[in-house]
Amino acid sequence: MIVRISGEGQWRLDDDVRTRVNELDNAAVAAVEAGDEPGFHASFDALLSMVRADGERLAGDDLHPSDVILPPADLSFDEAGEDFTGEGLIPD
């Protein structure tokens, strides 16, 4: 599967990593819901590090769309709690 980290680029990962991606993503969201800021940063950073380390970076002229798009690395705890839409991360 192809994963994009917003603001950084795209990586191709083996499909069997999907579960691990989901686990870390869910852990990040659970931490946000629990108001656990350090927990959020730990899970989110681990998620991005895994994609960068285990994935193979796509060439700049590759035109494949991504299967999953992850938020930018500097996503704040507050932004993670928002909808990403409207007044959130991605205004319409």
Select the residue interacting with other proteins from 17, 20, 25, 54 (CB under 8 A).
25
In contact, 3 and 55? CB cutoff 8 Å: yes
**Can residue 55 be called a binding residue for other proteins (CB under 8 A)?**
no
Q: State the nearest-atom distance from the C-beta of 8 to other proteins, in Å.
A: 9
Contact track, other proteins, 73-92, x by CB under 8 A: --x----x--xxx---xxx-
Instruction: Please tell me the total number of residues recorded for the chain in this structure.
Output: 92
Q: State the nearest-atom distance from the C-beta of 76 to other proteins, in Å.
A: 10
Q: Which residues, 6 or more positions from 32, have their beta carbon under 8 angstroms from its beta carbon?
A: 40, 77, 80, 81
- Indicate the DSSP class of residue 16: G
Identity at 53, one-letter amino acid code: A
Would you tell me which residues interact with other proteins (CB under 8 A)? Answer: 3-4, 6-7, 9, 21-22, 25-26, 28-29, 33, 44, 60-72, 75, 80, 83-85, 89-91
